[in-house]
Amino acid sequence: MLVFAGILLLVNALYNLIVWPRFWSRVAKDPRARDEQGRPTRFLRVHAVLIGVALVIALVSAVAGAMLLLG
């Protein structure tokens, strides 16, 4: 069961590392991301925080999965 949990955590981390950076590129190009003066809008800041949290969770998942599989 621990091997399954470790593999699942690593798959989760890999999925998040593939999906979220691609989503960020779409958000950054969205016209709602910047105002008329080129400053970041709330839309961009909120998505930046959400993507940042998702990537931190991916990192924690990767570390936990590796720990489960290695020890």
What residue type is 5 in one-letter code?
Answer: A
In order along its 71 residues, the chain shows pLDDT tens digits of 999 999 999 999 999 999 999 999 999 999 999 999 999 999 999 999 999 999 999 999 999 999 999 98
- For residues 68 and 16, the answer to whether their CB atoms sit within 8 Å is no
Count up the domains in the chain and report the number: 1
Q: Which domain holds residue 62?
A: 2-70
d(CA 51, CA 48): 5
The tokens of 24 are what?
Answer: 């960020």
Q: What is the DSSP string of 14-56?
A: HHHHHHHHHHHHHHHHSGGGB-TTS-B-HHHHHHHHHHHHHHH
Tell me the whole-structure pTM to 2 decimals: 0.85
